[in-house]
Each structure stands twice: as C-alpha cells, then as structure tokens.
Structure 1
Amino acid sequence: MSLIMHSLLQCATYVGNALVIAYPTEAMFGLGCNPAQKKAVMRLLTLKKRSIKKGLILIAANYEQLIPWVADEQLSLQQKELIFSTWPGPVTWILPARNMVPYWLTGGLSTLAVRVSSHPSVIDLCLACNTALVSTSANITNHPPCRYSTELFEQFGHNFPVLAGEIGWRMHPSEIRSVFTGERIR
C-alpha cells in the first residue's frame, strides 16, 4: 500500500483546519502545521512524541512571513546581513522571539528557530497557507527521519496527508546557528 499524495490546495486546507501534514524539504520529509494554532502544534508534538520544552522551528517562503514571530527590531544590520546571506537555504537561525510568541513554539525561551526555505514545495505551501509553518523532521522521536513515502506510511499510517513532491538532494537536516554568537549549534 502506498501513501496518497495530496495537492497543494488540499494540504493548505488541512493546515487551515489545524491538521498536521507531511511535505518534502531539502533533505527529508517534514511535518508541519500552522504555528498560531495550539491544537495543531499539540497534535504535531503528540505524533512525534516530542517534548514541548524542546521548542520548534518555523519555516517560511520569505522573511516577511517570519516578521510576526521574530523581534526584527532587535537585530542589527550586520546580523540581518549575515542571516540574509544564507537564505533562502538550509540554515536555521536562532533569533529573538516577539513577546507574544507562545511557549509551545519557543519551549519557554525568549528565542525562536526560523528559516527561509529554498525548496519549491515548501515555498509554494507557505505561500498557499499565507503563513510560516512549524517545521520538524517527519519521524517519531528517536527514529530516523523519513526520506521516502514508505517510511512515512510505516510511522504515520497510509491516511496521513502528504504534499506531493520530491525531497531535495541534501543528505542532512538544516544547519542551526545562533544570531547572538554566530555559533553553529547543529
């Protein structure tokens, strides 16, 4: 049995209805949902068996989609130049979060992990949803990330909504860096 791949419109509708979907990224399938919908984020955390204390990454089609979440005014011109020199692309940055960003995204910290993707399916999905999305590897915690639809089927069942498309050529998840120290975290 194979997964049923869903259209962009179907997946955007699922996201709008507080559901979790899988979608192709630069290196693997990701799980995503609307970051403003607590119910959706809790579903995602439950699916992954992931602690809320770990925080999550937001992925976007462009920097403008991250402005509601990131305390942009706290970033210096040099910090922005550094960030923008890596985007769009597979670099996630730890940035200051706006005060209103909920704990279920930050893990209780004052920072938020964000990235602007270069993957066409991610860009199209974020634009169709008109928001950045929660993005985490499509796998149950302590299992390898899903690179093939068969692995998604095994971990999440054949009815799980998956955006049609191919994963990119990268072999590793995005690099994570701190804007405060420049340090590479992953």
Structure 2
Amino acid sequence: MPLVSFDLLVSGIRSGQLASFPTDTVPALATIPSSSSLIFNAKQRSLKKPLILMAANISQLWDYVSADFERDNWHQIAQNYWPGALTLVVPASQKIPASLNPTDPTTIGVRVPDSEIARKILVQTGPLATTSANLSGQPPLRRMAEIAATFPNVLTLSPQEVPLELEMGTGQPSTVAKWDGNNWKILREGSVILDT
C-alpha cells in the first residue's frame, strides 16, 4: 500500500484499517479499538502483550477508564506528565474491547503523546489501539518508508507530511506505570522519570 496523505490516513483509520504515523517516542501501528486484532496479526504479537490506548487529550480517555478509579490520583499524574512519554495502566471501563488486553481486560494502558502530528490524527479519529511499528522481537522501525516496506498492507503517513526530525521520534519507549491499588508500580523504564 503506498505512503498516504494525512486525510487518506485519517479516513482509512476511521474505516477500521491499520495505519502507522509518528509519535514522540517511536512511530505507532494504530487502529480503532474494535479492530485491534489487526495489530496482533500484523506484528505477529503475543496476545499476552497488551496494546496501549492513545488519545489526543485526557478528556478523550474518560469513558475508557473505570469510573470507580476517578477518586485516585491518575488525573494529577496525567496532568503533570501529558502530553508525554508516559503510559498509565489503569482499571478499564466496560467500553474497552477485551482484545486490547486479552489476558487482563480489566486494565488498560493509556497515553497522550507529545507529538503534534499524532494528536492531530487522534483528534479526528478518537482514541486508537497502538503499539510500536515493528515485527515482534525486532527493533522499532523509525522511518515511514521502512514501515511501508515491512507492512505493505498498512496505511503509512507519507514522509512528505512529516519533517524528518519528527518522523523518527526520540527512539526511547514510554515509561509504563501501573496502579496497584495503592501506588504506581513502574513496569518499564522509559524517558520519563515518574515522581509519585
């Protein structure tokens, strides 16, 4: 599938296709939550590795997080670190398709990237199921042309739509922190140092 324009990428995502675009960390593979199985299939990814729900802003995520969790401090943490390279694993609402986290559908990783391009897409598509653009076990691909070559059936944002320095991201993964009922537990160290 050819590299596509911003508008074609957005319309393809809305119709349930798999797409790739830059973020602040590494480029993402993304699709609407109900089509998340496309990501697992394309990456040859284990169902034991959940996907991340990425959004343009925190308000897009309210409906996907358990209402019982709102009393806890995830709002403050999110406001302090988002947009940014921090993924928060929190209790999921019933709106989350179980396919995003097949082994534990009661939780979901959520993130708002510090990428104007990604947020511009997410404003138009709504929250998307995401992960890094690579085959499982391989390093993340960082150039749109490489992604298009590796995933020929994925709508990939044309490099003409993206300045080179923004196309590749930082190359560092997001920090992943999970709420354990009392505090935040770091599951993956990344570029953000979480001060809880």
TM-score relative to the length of structure 1: 0.87
Instruction: Give the letter for the 1:85 counterpart.
Output: N
Instruction: Give the letter for the 2:173 counterpart.
Output: P
Give 1:52 deviation, angstroms: 2.4
Residue in structure 1 matched with residue 147 of structure 2 by the alignment: 152
Cα distance between partner residues in 2 of 1:79 and 1:41: 25
Instruction: Give the letter for the 2:186 counterpart.
Output: R
Give 1:169 deviation, angstroms: 4.4
CA distance 1:46–1:78, shift in 2 (3 Å):
closer
Q: For the Cα contact (< 8 Å) 2:43–2:134, is it kept in 1?
A: yes
Cα distance between partner residues in 2 of 1:46 and 1:81: 35
Residue in structure 2 matched with residue 13 of structure 1 by the alignment: 11
Give 1:43 deviation, angstroms: 1.6
Residue in structure 2 matched with residue 176 of structure 1 by the alignment: 176
Give structure 2 stretches of 5+ with no counterpart.
189-196
Q: Deviations over 1:116-164 (max 9, x none)?
A: 11201111001111x101110000101111111342133113x631123
Counterparts of 1:1-186 in structure 2 under 5 Å? Answer: 4-35=2-33, 37=34, 40-109=35-104, 110-129=106-125, 131-157=126-152, 160-163=154-157, 164-165=161-162, 166-167=166-167, 169-180=169-180, 181-186=183-188
Cα distance between partner residues in 2 of 1:151 and 1:170: 17
Cα distance between partner residues in 1 of 2:168 and 2:148: 19
Q: For the Cα contact (< 8 Å) 1:119–1:168, is it kept in 2?
A: no
Give structure 1 stretches of 5+ with no counterpart.
none
Q: How many residue pairs end up in the alignment?
A: 179
Give 1:84 deviation, angstroms: 1.8
Give 1:168 deviation, angstroms: 5.5
Give 1:12 deviation, angstroms: 1.3
Instruction: Give the letter for the 1:184 counterpart.
Output: I
Cα distance between partner residues in 2 of 1:115 and 1:26: 11
Q: Deviations over 1:34-79 (max 9, x none)?
A: 01x2xx2122211000122322101100111112211144133533
Q: For the Cα contact (< 8 Å) 1:32–1:136, is it kept in 2?
A: yes
